[in-house]
């Protein structure tokens, strides 16, 4: 009886796994939903729509972008973490959702490392330090020197101490021993308008939302926050060239709910890599601000995420960022 029961269970298990394998082979057999924690029209929104259009053409199914902003990315991330792991719900994540939130909240309704299956790195999203085009501040050296000479008078606008822009501003203050006045704004758009209106001295903002003003000659880009100089802005130095170790950049990656079939993850990774290897698509993404990154396996992304957690943990300690 026990042998017959085991044999029956084994046959059932084989049939189930065979059925799953056939389902994986047919993926995608229906439209795929891609959740994004940012609003329509944002930099990440533009990038994921370009990517979604390309995937739809190569895979023969619609990739439907669902914007679920709010809650500092928690709403969108939690929705995907709880979604079926069948390959039909994906998450176009940013550094905030998968790394930074761990150092901002005492508790999260999702685990950034355990609840998602890494699929593919997509793009870096550099930040920059901007001043008005007619500002007497011509470099990072000028900015730091002035803030040291006149403590508390030079103002650096950002989106708040618990955002990427705010963390960068605090790290610059900490590393340079400067005493700039860090002014929090409700959004980067409001901060940029205040800079151009002469109500603040500098602003930390992502290139995706602000580079257009520099190209129009309304702002001057003093430095970028990536480890290397940014494509398209090669004449602009990095902050790290003046303050070694100050490297903090946003990024975007595609992940899926943990447990998503490996065959689906592998195929999706391959298709995204092909798309990001297309110079035309890379140029369209660069025009928005982010820098597309072709190649890299799901394992590479997993390693990167663990390294980012280690690095951000050190930075959070240095600038006194405490979870709430």
Residue 24, pLDDT score: 58
Neighbours of 47 (CB within 10 A): 25
Residue 56, pLDDT score: 98
Please report which helix (H) or strand (E) contains residue 158, including its range.
Answer: strand 155-158
What DSSP string runs through 169-235?
Answer: HHHHHHHHT---EEEE-S-HHHHHHHHHTTS-SEEEEEHHHHHHHHHTTSEEEEEE-SSSPPTT-TT
Domains belonging to the chain, first-starting first, are 28-125+249-319 (3.40.190.150), 127-241 (3.40.190.10)
Checking DSSP bridges between strand 127-132 and strand 202-206, what pairing results, if any?
A: antiparallel
pTM, full prediction = 0.84
Per-residue pLDDT of the chain (324 residues; tens, 9 = 90+): 444 444 444 444 444 444 444 445 689 999 999 999 998 988 899 999 999 999 999 999 999 999 999 888 999 999 999 999 999 999 999 999 999 999 999 999 999 999 999 999 999 999 999 999 999 999 999 999 999 999 999 999 998 888 889 999 999 999 998 889 999 998 888 999 999 999 999 999 998 888 889 999 999 999 999 989 998 899 999 999 999 989 898 999 999 999 999 999 999 999 999 999 999 999 999 888 888 987 799 999 999 999 999 999 999 999 998 888
Question: Going edge to edge, which strands form the sheet with 127-132?
Answer: 181-184, 155-158, 202-206, 127-132, 219-224
């Amino acid at each position: 009886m026990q042998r017959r029961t085991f044999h029956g269970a084994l046959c059932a298990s084989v049939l189930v796994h065979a059925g799953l394998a056939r389902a994986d082979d047919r993926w995608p057999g229906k439209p795929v939903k891609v959740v994004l924690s940012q609003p329509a029209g944002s930099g990440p929104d533009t990038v994921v729509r370009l990517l979604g259009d390309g995937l739809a053409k190569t895979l023969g199914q619609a990739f439907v972008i669902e914007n679920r902003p709010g809650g500092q990315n928690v709403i969108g991330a939690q929705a995907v973490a709880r979604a079926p792991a069948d390959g039909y719900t994906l998450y176009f994540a940013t550094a905030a959702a998968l790394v930074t939130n761990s150092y901002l909240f005492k508790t999260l309704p999702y685990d950034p490392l355990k609840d998602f299956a890494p699929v593919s790195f997509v793009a870096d999203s550099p930040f920059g330090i901007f001043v008005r085009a007619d500002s007497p501040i011509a470099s990072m050296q000028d900015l730091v020197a002035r803030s040291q000479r006149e403590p508390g008078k030079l103002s650096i606008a950002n989106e708040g101490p618990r955002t990427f822009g705010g963390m960068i501003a605090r790290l610059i203050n900490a590393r340079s021993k400067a005493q700039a006045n860090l002014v929090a704004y409700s959004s980067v758009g409001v901060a940029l308008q205040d800079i151009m209106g002469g109500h603040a001295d500098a602003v930390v903002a992502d290139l995706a939302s602000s580079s257009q003003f520099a190209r129009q000659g309304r702002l001057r880009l003093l430095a970028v926050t990536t480890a290397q100089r940014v494509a398209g802005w090669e004449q602009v130095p990095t902050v790290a060239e003046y303050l070694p170790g100050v490297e903090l950049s946003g990024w975007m990656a595609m992940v899926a709910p943990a447990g998503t079939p490996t065959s689906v993850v592998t195929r999706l990774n391959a298709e995204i890599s092909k798309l990001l290897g297309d110079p035309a698509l890379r140029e369209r993404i660069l025009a928005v601000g982010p820098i597309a990154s072709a190649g890299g396996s799901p394992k590479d992304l997993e390693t990167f995420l663990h390294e980012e957690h280690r690095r951000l943990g050190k930075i959070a300690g240095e600038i006194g960022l405490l979870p709430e």
